[in-house]
Every structure is written in structure tokens, then in C-alpha cells.
């Protein structure tokens, strides 16, 4: 009998050596506003991410776990209690137990191994505690930093530069990764 959890039945709270992945808190609104306002952070991301849906970061946080929980789980990434960014599980396909992952960090947190460590924690959670069997991710081909994070965590590139709708005026060339 499989005793692993189905996704979206709970909001995980994960602790690692340096990081904690947990619910985003109302006190994180200023840092979330900083994240969503940074065009460098979002230049390689889809236009329709939940945290970009509303102008007010406090409103986003207030509705993150009611509006969004049916289709995705967004967790805050914290280093020593400081909000560093978001990691998201989305696009779950129950019949094949497949989920997609994505992450975005405050620019001041780049280059510190935070994305790699957060992704490693999520992978461990998905593989050890849930019924997930396949984990995928998508990046723009120009996003070499994110590609390196995925490679470090055992992802393989399976499709290069396939056009996809990321909410821009024209289709977005997208690399597809699987683990």
C-alpha cells in the first residue's frame, strides 16, 4: 500500500541545513514587492505567474493559499529567516504523477547556491514523501544560471527552444527539462 501523500493535500514546511521552505507570511510583503518589481528577475519568466497577478504584494500573500492551491503550491525560500524568493510546484498530472517546478530569487540572493539548495529540498520532498514520479521544468534558452541549477539537481534537457505561450506577444522559445 502506497502511504505517500498526494500533492496539494497540504502545504509543506521543509527545513534544510541553511534554508527553510514554507508558507509566505504577511511580513514578507515588502520583500515580495521587491522581487516582483525587479525586471531582471522576471526577464526569463512567464508573464502570468501568480505573484504578478496583483499589484499589492500583501493581497497576493493573503490569497496565495486559497486561490492558488488548487493548481500549484508556492513556498517562500528563507535563508536564516530572511525571505529570498519563491519556489513553486505546478501543473500536476495525476495519472502519470508528474509535477513541474519553478523558482525565482531576489537579485541580491543570486550566486549563493540558494536556488540549487531549495530545488534539492523540493526534489527530496517530492520523491520521498509524495506520489510524484516525474519532475519537469522549463527555462528560456538564455537563462544559463537556471539551466545550471537544473543540471546540478539531476535534470536532463529533453527539448531545446520549443515555442510555448508564456504570455508574451509572440511564442517564447523554451527549453524543457526532466528528472
Dihedral over alpha carbons 161, 53, 119, 162 (to 10 degrees): -10
CA dist 131 and 169 (Å) reads 37
- The CA angle 164-165-171, to the nearest 5 degrees, is 70
Q: Per-residue pLDDT tens for 49-101?
A: 999 999 999 999 999 888 666 678 999 999 999 999 999 999 988 889 999 99
Structural domains in the chain plus CATH codes: 14-137 (3.40.630.30)
Q: Which residues pair with 5 in a beta bridge?
A: 130
Helical packing angle, 144-152 and 114-129, nearest 10°: 40
pLDDT-derived band at 1, boundaries 50, 70, 90: very low
Q: Are 92 and 128 in contact (CB under 8 A)?
A: no
Amino acid at each position: 500500500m502506497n502511504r505517500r501523500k498526494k500533492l496539494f493535500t497540504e502545504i509543506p514546511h521543509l527545513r534544510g541545513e541553511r534554508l527553510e521552505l514554507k508558507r509566505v507570511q504577511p511580513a514578507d510583503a515588502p520583500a515580495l514587492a521587491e522581487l516582483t518589481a525587479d525586471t531582471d528577475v522576471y526577464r526569463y519568466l512567464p508573464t502570468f505567474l501568480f505573484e504578478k497577478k496583483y499589484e499589492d504584494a500583501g493581497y497576493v500573500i493573503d490569497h496565495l493559499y486559497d486561490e492558488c492551491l488548487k493548481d500549484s503550491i508556492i513556498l517562500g525560500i528563507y535563508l536564516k529567516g530572511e525571505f529570498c524568493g519563491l519556489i513553486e510546484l505546478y501543473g500536476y498530472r495525476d495519472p502519470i504523477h508528474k509535477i513541474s517546478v519553478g523558482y525565482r530569487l531576489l537579485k541580491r540572493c543570486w550566486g549563493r547556491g540558494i536556488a540549487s539548495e531549495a530545488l534539492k529540498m523540493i526534489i527530496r520532498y517530492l520523491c520521498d514523501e509524495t506520489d510524484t514520479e516525474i519532475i519537469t521544468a522549463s527555462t528560456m534558452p538564455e537563462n544559463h544560471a537556471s539551466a545550471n541549477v537544473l543540471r546540478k539537481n539531476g535534470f536532463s534537457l529533453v527539448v531545446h527552444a520549443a515555442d510555448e505561450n508564456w504570455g508574451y506577444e509572440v511564442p517564447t522559445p523554451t527549453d524543457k527539462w526532466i528528472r
